[in-house]
A = this chain, B = another copy of it.
Amino acid sequence: MQKTKLESLFVPKSIAIIGASNKEGKVGTVITQNIRELGYRGKVFLVNQSYETLYEQKCYANVDDVEDDIDLAIISVPAKFVVDMIAQSAKKIKNFVIISAGFAEIGKEGEERERELLEIAQKNGLTILGPNCLGFISPAIKLNASFASGMPRSGNIAFVSQSGAIAVSLMDIAKQKNLAFSSIISVGNKMQLDETELLEYFEKDSKTKVIAMYLEGIKNGQAFIEMALRVSKKKPIVILKAGKSSKAQEAISSHTGALAGSDAITDSAFEKAGILRANDLEHFFDLISLLSMNEAPKNNKVAVITNAGGVGVLATDAFEKKEIQLCEFSEKQSQLLASKLPEESSVHNPIDLLGDAKEDRYENILKILEKDDSIGTILSILTPQDQTPVNEIAQVVIKFGKKSKKIMLSSFVGGEKVADAILGLRENGIVNFDFPERAVNCLDAYYKWKKQSSKKDIASEKRKNNVTRMNFVSGVIANAKKEKRSALFFDEASDVMSMYGVPAVLSHAILPKQKIPQKIQYPAVLKVDSDKVLHKSDKQALIVGIQDRKELELAIKKLRKNFPKERFVLQPLQSKQIEIILGIKRDEIFGPVVMYGLGGIYAEIFNKINFIIPPMSQDEIKNSLENGQLGFLFTKTRGQEAYDTEAMVKIISGLIAFAQENPQVKEFDINPLFIYNDKRRASAVDIKIII
């Protein structure tokens, strides 16, 4: 169903242009001309009350006058007319593209328009792209339903952009780089049609091999990640997500009003979903070029040939800390290579063909490498030395590229001297990187995607809310609120947490004038337990190292002086080993997220923080613990037993449940949680639940 809907939008048999025009400088004019003049073969109906004919064709006052079926209407009339216009046509037309600006991006008035529109759309089963967008282009049917000029080549890249201007720049760069597209879609305000639905559409779209998106915000983070997780198993998704910095988030909100989530969480979410995140525009183009023109590398081994040692060294540097690696040649292979090269050549990888290499030397070596099944990728580097026949060498690379099952990449490093050769390479499907380092970076990302996408999913069972538990927590919170507290007492928090499988340190509450309990484990720690004292060490609200009953009595007396009415909590001193901090962050995009990291006074210096993006099964959490930033704790290493991973898995799993079942909790953290690797039980020493 869904698929058919989007297909009739993006591959329509007939189009009505509402706001068609021939006046210079009007958006409606550009759209009319783009649709009529660039080769689209479907039916086109022009709609505009001001004309009877336009472009020597009948012009309708109203879509209802059109007697044919209309698959899609493109609207570029002023915002204030749009709602009524769609309401009137909703019976006849099901798909709309609203180019017009003047909606949510301008504030209240526009938001109201979107609300009305959305209601009409839902009632009538409409699909709407935009508003406030550039439109879309479907090169395979030569349909440019946008106000950007030109017709990009038809190919396998689906490009979705939240910025019309970036789409325009991309198309211009794409032309230069010989990129070819299955779709270019400007999503504008994403009132209805958003990145998640488009992912699903491209998943099934046979023309699309690579899904590329420029996003400033994500409308429904959880649905998006779930969808991306599925789609990325089949097709690589490359996203340039703007708004990394807090400054950029300001710029975005003045731009399209999207919510840009915390960047580290976005990173974690993308990683979980198998999305390739581009670092910047250049990386974005590099990745798209590579992915569009090549199958994924069949293994992580790369052979590099070069006519200049220096550039080979720079390429080698780029492999540092990558999964993709320079292959090593066997003794036999090295001898074979040496037999085809001058004595001074290096037959290590990178193979140095020397500065006087002509096309025959490239050809001889490529022939040998081509036959070596252990190599997944060959990168041919060239510097244009005076005796170098640049174009002839490009021809050799093209020849091998065409017949090879390996990835064949090139990096011809130069200016004018290599410009023609690079054009030729591109036209023949060889991706040339201006500098070899960039080839290595992108190849590494492609290889990692392939590895992750071919991994079996660890089944993520759907978690069900536990109503009994939710009721219990609601009761505790209601009680605290009745007492006008903004935080739970430690014993309350500890009871709540125990229902979620999170163990806390055994402790005694000591109320004003209450007797000291008999059985106390020494040495002990006495702390004020109050929503007014959340940072205990700052306010001198704790006493450590209490050795016996006498010291305890003194400690209570001392603390009472400053805190006469507060509740205290008494805990046995925990012998500490590793301190962990845990928290729940309600991300505006991705919903409740569990954060865990290394605690202690240097937590911020070492900055070992991880995010768990639900849903996650226990197996996935385990995997994340072992491979995350704290992996060194949860794996056995020389001189250290692994810390209790199972306990951490249960705690994090409990926190996910807690976060999902109790949206009324405003802030939550455990700091510290002590964990051990000597059979002792992990325990939360302090739990903060702000309500």
Chain A interface (Cβ < 8 Å from any Cβ of B) = 25, 30, 106, 147-149, 161-166, 168-169, 172-177, 214, 216, 240, 242-245, 247-248, 250-252, 254-256, 280-282, 307-314, 316-320, 326, 344, 346, 348, 350, 352, 355, 383-387, 413-418, 434-438, 537, 601-602, 605-606, 632, 639-640
Contact: B383 with A165, CB < 8 Å? yes
Contact: A281 with B169, CB < 8 Å? no
Contact: A166 with B311, CB < 8 Å? yes
Given contacts A175-B415, A437-B280, contact A320 B245 (CB under 8 A): yes
Contact: A346 with B177, CB < 8 Å? no
Contact: A173 with B414, CB < 8 Å? yes
Given contacts A30-B386, A385-B165, A434-B282, contact A316 B247 (CB under 8 A): yes
Contact: B415 with A242, CB < 8 Å? no
Q: In the bound complex, how far is the Cα of B158 from the Cα of A662, in angstroms?
A: 66
For this complex, 27 residue pairs linking A to B, each with C-beta atoms less than 8 Å apart, are A106-B344, A149-B386, A164-B308, A165-B309, A165-B310, A165-B311, A168-B383, A169-B311, A169-B384, A169-B414, A174-B415, A242-B313, A245-B316, A247-B320, A247-B326, A250-B316, A251-B316, A251-B348, A254-B346, A255-B310, A256-B309, A280-B317, A280-B435, A281-B314, A281-B413, A281-B435, A601-B640
User: A387's closest neighbor in chain B, by CB?
Assistant: B25
User: A247's closest neighbor in chain B, by CB?
Assistant: B316
Contact: B214 with A310, CB < 8 Å? yes
Q: In the bound complex, how far is the Cα of B245 from the Cα of A167, in angstroms?
A: 38
Given contacts A281-B437, A318-B280, contact A251 B414 (CB under 8 A): no
Given contacts A255-B312, A435-B281, contact A317 B350 (CB under 8 A): no
Q: In the bound complex, how far is the Cα of B647 from the Cα of A588, in angstroms?
A: 49
Instruction: Kindly list chain B residues whose C-beta atoms are within 8 Å of the C-beta of A384.
Output: 168-169, 172
- State the copy count for this chain: 2
Instruction: Kindly list chain B residues whose C-beta atoms are within 8 Å of the C-beta of A602.
Output: 632
Instruction: Kindly list chain B residues whose C-beta atoms are within 8 Å of the C-beta of A281.
Output: 311, 314, 413, 435-437
Most chain B CB within a 10 A radius of its CB, from A169, A313, A384, A632: A313
User: A164's closest neighbor in chain B, by CB?
Assistant: B355
Contact: A148 with B280, CB < 8 Å? no
User: A175's closest neighbor in chain B, by CB?
Assistant: B415
User: A418's closest neighbor in chain B, by CB?
Assistant: B172
Given contacts A255-B309, A314-B280, A601-B639, contact A169 B350 (CB under 8 A): no
Instruction: Kindly list chain B residues whose C-beta atoms are within 8 Å of the C-beta of A344.
Output: 106
Contact: B308 with A346, CB < 8 Å? no
Instruction: Kindly list chain B residues whose C-beta atoms are within 8 Å of the C-beta of A163.
Output: 308-311
Known pairs A242-B310, A251-B348 / 15 extra A-B pairs, C-beta < 8 Å? A164-B385, A165-B383, A168-B383, A168-B386, A169-B384, A172-B414, A172-B415, A174-B415, A176-B416, A216-B313, A245-B320, A250-B348, A254-B352, A280-B318, A280-B435
Most chain B CB within a 10 A radius of its CB, from A310, A316, A355: A310
Contact: A169 with B413, CB < 8 Å? yes
